[in-house]
Chain A
Amino acid sequence: MSEVAVKEKEPLFSKKNKKLITDPLNDTNPVTIQVLGICSALAVTVKMDAALVMSMAVLAVLIIGNVIVSLMRNMIPGKIRIIVQLVVVAALVIIVDQVLKAFVYDVSKQLSVFVGLIITNCIIMGRLEAFALANKPWASALDGLGNGIGYGVILVVVAFFKELFGSGTLLGYEIFGNATDMTGLYAMGYENNGMMLLPPSSLVLVAIYIWIQKSRNPSLQEGH
């Protein structure tokens, strides 16, 4: 009943596997090209540190979730596969949330509800459904790693500009001087851009990112 296929062993970092990591960083970026996970990219990008921790949390959930679903791919009944994936993701997110609360309490307070919202992050369900269900654990782990980093890069880039121009700081360090004491650039009449603190500004920043990305890589452009 089980087929005994003799396959050549694939090297751990074959060309195909490397592509699994590099593609999501650019050509198939989950945020800018597939436009998934936009919701959290808008919400947790006001401060760099929150964006970093959020990226790490998504990365961890994505890799572990991908591996677990990939390991179970031959057991999961097709009828309830989405539910199974959801349970795996939800369980992982709850564990991540509990661990953050116990060991990095301050960070978990900052992220508050957004950790729980990783469950609904479309990137995770998307990768489980599109990749992990049909591929081996190692390839799925690499795919998770690539997509997690692809997501994280966007978050950090957006957060960089939002924190810099919204609060005049980076990772909490004052770059332009102190706004309340009116020192540095503020003494010369510079003001923080309040809109940068609000979610809509992320849309503008993500759009600019997509613009730059697509103009550098014409193959990504549609309608030609």
Chain B
Amino acid sequence: MAINKESNVYTVVFATLMVVIVGGLLAFVSSSLKPIQEDNVRNEKKQLILKAIGSEETKSITREDAGEQFKKYVVERLILDYEGNIIEGTRLTNETPVDIKSAKDAFAVDLKKEYKKFVQPLTNKYAGTDLVDELTKETNIHYPLFICEVNDKKHYVIPVMGKGLWAGVWGYIGLESDARTISGAVFDHKSETPGLGAEISKDFFSDQFIEKTIVDESGKYTPIKVVKPGTGVTQPYVDGISGGTFTSVGVDEMMNRTLAVYHKFFQREEGRQLLTNI
């Protein structure tokens, strides 16, 4: 019997079969490639953390090697709250392997998710001291810190997360053993405009941060400004990207907001101890 291709029954059966087959195929492809993709993302994160240390030795580590090299250089990792206190049980050494499922592992903190869910609603609504108050109240935001050792010198790597023009921008800031001077910085983004905002991931931009300090002579926290090229400001500043103003403002905001927490930590007893135990 010839099948009437224009009948409703045929159309419905065809559509159903097609959806099942295509759905199954996509599920199969996605689940079989997922481990490789997740490895890529994790190794890239490790690579960026190592790069942010700013030492020649760790700069050239490729993404493939970063997985192995990470535990050699990152000797300790911990999570802070907004007040700069270490959250209990989160201080891990490199003997504990990275466990991405653990809530106590600094490497597992999903800053992107926390930023979207908890930080952004606050930064959209509040500013200045109100924002500080609100951020203090929000306990769902975690601040991971990676303590690294290169050539017997300590470095602190701080992840930052904010928003650019189109979507998220993030980065890792490396501090010298004095926890004041920036030794390295890397930035990355999801979908900033190529040639404009996307330039923040280039070395010429991030290298400007090196040797800038996050405190002034009296020890007060002074955020590094990202300004239009040529604008003179009194506090430490770097040149923003011309044509990428929104992205530059995003970098400025995320660094200002996040580094303040770590500055508080290094003022506290536990933080000061870290600095003296070299």
A168 → B minimal CB distance (Å): 11
Task: Identify the stretch in A3-11, A74-82, A130-138, A140-148 within 8 Å (CB) of chain B at 4 or more residues.
Answer: A74-82
Contact B6 A77 (CB under 8 A): yes
Assembled-state Cα–Cα distance A63/B195 (Å): 31
Q: Which residues of chain A come closer than 8 Å to B100, judged between CB atoms? A: none
Q: Which residue of A lies closest to B242 (CB)?
A: A194
Tell me whether A91 is interfacial, beta carbon within 8 Å: yes
Tell me whether B33 is interfacial, beta carbon within 8 Å: yes
Tell me whether B233 is interfacial, beta carbon within 8 Å: no
Cross-chain contact of B36 among A76, A83, A94, A103 (Cβ < 8 A): A103
- Mask: chain B, 23-36; 1 = CB below 8 Å from A; 0 = not: 00110011001001
Q: Which residues of chain A come closer than 8 Å to B193, judged between CB atoms? A: 197
Given contacts A95-B26, A99-B33, A197-B195, contact A112 B190 (CB under 8 A): yes
Given contacts A47-B195, A105-B40, A113-B191, contact A76 B14 (CB under 8 A): yes
Q: Which residues of chain B come closer than 8 Å to A87, judged between CB atoms? A: 18-19, 22
Assembled-state Cα–Cα distance A197/B191 (Å): 15
Tell me whether B134 is interfacial, beta carbon within 8 Å: no
Contact A102 B195 (CB under 8 A): no
Given contacts A46-B195, A113-B191, contact A105 B63 (CB under 8 A): yes
Tell me whether B76 is interfacial, beta carbon within 8 Å: no
Tell me whether A19 is interfacial, beta carbon within 8 Å: no
Q: Which residues of chain B come closer than 8 Å to A88, judged between CB atoms? A: 22
Most buried by B among A77, A101, A167, A194: A77
Assembled-state Cα–Cα distance A113/B189 (Å): 13
Cross-chain contact of A94 among B5, B26, B40 (Cβ < 8 A): B26
Assembled-state Cα–Cα distance A4/B10 (Å): 25
Contact A91 B6 (CB under 8 A): no
Tell me whether A21 is interfacial, beta carbon within 8 Å: no
Q: Which residues of chain A come closer than 8 Å to B195, judged between CB atoms? A: 46-47, 166-167, 197
B1-19 residues at the A interface, CB under 8 angstroms: 2, 5-6, 10-11, 14-15, 18-19
Given contacts A95-B26, A105-B63, contact A197 B5 (CB under 8 A): no
Assembled-state Cα–Cα distance A47/B25 (Å): 33
Tell me whether A98 is interfacial, beta carbon within 8 Å: yes
Assembled-state Cα–Cα distance A80/B5 (Å): 11
Contact A98 B33 (CB under 8 A): yes
Q: Which residues of chain A come closer than 8 Å to B30, judged between CB atoms? A: 94, 98
A57-102 residues at the B interface, CB under 8 angstroms: 75-80, 83-84, 87-88, 91, 94-95, 98-99, 101-102
Tell me whether A180 is interfacial, beta carbon within 8 Å: yes
Contact A91 B22 (CB under 8 A): yes
Assembled-state Cα–Cα distance A113/B18 (Å): 26
Interface of A is mostly: helix
Tell me whether A1 is interfacial, beta carbon within 8 Å: yes
Cross-chain contact of B6 among A79, A83, A101, A103 (Cβ < 8 A): A79
B266 → A minimal CB distance (Å): 33
Given contacts A80-B11, A95-B29, A194-B243, contact A102 B36 (CB under 8 A): yes
Assembled-state Cα–Cα distance A13/B25 (Å): 33
Tell me whether A50 is interfacial, beta carbon within 8 Å: yes
Q: Which residues of chain B come closer than 8 Å to A110, judged between CB atoms? A: 194
A165-197 residues at the B interface, CB under 8 angstroms: 166-167, 180, 194, 197
Contact B243 A197 (CB under 8 A): yes
A116-163 residues at the B interface, CB under 8 angstroms: none
Q: Which residues of chain B come closer than 8 Å to A46, judged between CB atoms? A: 194-195
Q: Which residues of chain B come closer than 8 Å to A79, judged between CB atoms? A: 6, 11
B10 → A minimal CB distance (Å): 6
B26 → A minimal CB distance (Å): 6
B243 → A minimal CB distance (Å): 6
Given contacts A47-B194, A98-B29, A180-B204, contact A77 B40 (CB under 8 A): no
Assembled-state Cα–Cα distance A105/B195 (Å): 20
Q: Which residues of chain B come closer than 8 Å to A113, judged between CB atoms? A: 191
Q: Which residue of A lies closest to B7 (CB)?
A: A77
Q: Which residue of A lies closest to B201 (CB)?
A: A109
Contact A101 B37 (CB under 8 A): yes
Tell me whether B83 is interfacial, beta carbon within 8 Å: no
The 3 residue pairs across chains A and B that have the minimum distance between CB atoms: A197-B195, A102-B36, A105-B40
* Known contacts A105-B40, A197-B194, A198-B196; 10 further A-B pairs (Cβ under 8 A): A46-B194, A77-B10, A77-B14, A78-B6, A87-B22, A94-B29, A98-B37, A102-B37, A110-B194, A113-B191
- A–B Cβ pairs within 8 angstroms, 27 of them: A46-B194, A50-B194, A77-B6, A77-B10, A77-B11, A79-B6, A80-B11, A84-B14, A84-B18, A91-B22, A91-B25, A94-B29, A94-B30, A95-B25, A95-B26, A95-B29, A101-B40, A102-B36, A103-B36, A105-B37, A110-B194, A112-B190, A167-B195, A180-B204, A197-B193, A197-B194, A197-B196
